[in-house]
Amino acid sequence: MTSTSLSSSLSAPTINRPNVVAVGTIVWLGSEVMFFAGLFAIYFTLRSTSPQLWEQGTELFNIPLATVNTIILVLSSVTCQFGVFAAERLQARRTGWNPVKWGMIEWFFLTYAMGAVFVVGQIYEYAILVSEYVTLDSDAFGSAFYLTTGFHGLHVTGGLIAFLLVIGRAYAVKTFTHRDATSAIVVSYYWHFVDVVWIGLFLVIYVLQ
């Protein structure tokens, strides 16, 4: 091989192929979008057929509680992204008590705690509504409300489990690698998706009523 051809081969551009796991996650989230679109359709259909039930049911909502719960979930998406930034620089653990020096584990633990608070807040709201005899099979309002928010709550719970798995994996490995960082990024995709879906649900259920 001549020096010219050698230098040409060395200067050839490197093709960065998309990560298969990340692409697969995005495709799967696309199917989840369709799933929640179906839930929204069910909600709007039932509301259009029973407007009086919605007037009665929405009066029972604790809007301040739902608002605070929403803010907590939105902020958890921010802390999750800080965890991703730490993972991208391959920093699994903190190098100091200052949040600026936190690693992925600390940010994801905080995100997990905020997500858990959101779930507890949703369960508390369910308890209030059940005490007012609003249940899944009580009427169309109860069915629509519990189906939409319940399935979202299950997705949030799934995200919390995913955070624990990523955190546990970070503790288990001796060296935090790009593969571990990819896992953190994929979980963040899912969490941001869950966050965006809830914002839509909050606007439709609590704001528009």
Q: Which residue has the higher pLDDT, 47 or 153?
A: 153
Which secondary-structure segment (H or E) carries 186?
Answer: helix 178-202
Identify the pLDDT of residue 148: 92
Residue 87 lies in a domain: yes
**Structural domain containing residue 110:** 20-208
Distance CA 20, CA 128 (A): 44
Residue 12 lies in a domain: no
Identify the pLDDT of residue 138: 82
Q: Which CATH number characterizes residue 62's domain? A: 1.20.120.80
Any idea what DSSP says for residue 133? T
- Report how many domains make up the chain: 1
Distance CA 111, CA 116 (A): 9
Is 1 strand, coil or helix? Answer: coil
Give the type of residue at 185: I
Is the predicted pLDDT of residue 114 greater than 70, yes or no?
Answer: yes
pTM as predicted: 0.84
Q: Which residue has the higher pLDDT, 2 or 70?
A: 70
Residue 5 lies in a domain: no
Who's near 194: CB < 8 A, 6+ residues apart?
Answer: 73, 152, 155, 156, 159
Residue 127 lies in a domain: yes
Is the predicted pLDDT of residue 4 greater than 60, yes or no?
Answer: no
Any idea what DSSP says for residue 137? T
Identify the pLDDT of residue 97: 83
Q: Which residue has the higher pLDDT, 7 or 101?
A: 101
Residue 7 lies in a domain: no
Identify the pLDDT of residue 65: 94
Residue 69 lies in a domain: yes
Residue 13 lies in a domain: no
pLDDT in tens, 57-105: 888 899 999 999 999 999 999 999 999 999 999 998 888 787 878 999 9
Residue written as token pair 């939105």: 74
Q: Which of 34-43, 115-124, 146-155 has the lowest mean pLDDT?
A: 34-43
User: What's the whole-number average pLDDT of the chain?
Assistant: 85
Residue 156 lies in a domain: yes
Mean pLDDT of 30-39: 81
Identify the pLDDT of residue 15: 37
Identify the pLDDT of residue 19: 64
Q: How many CB atoms lie within 10 A of CB 195?
A: 21
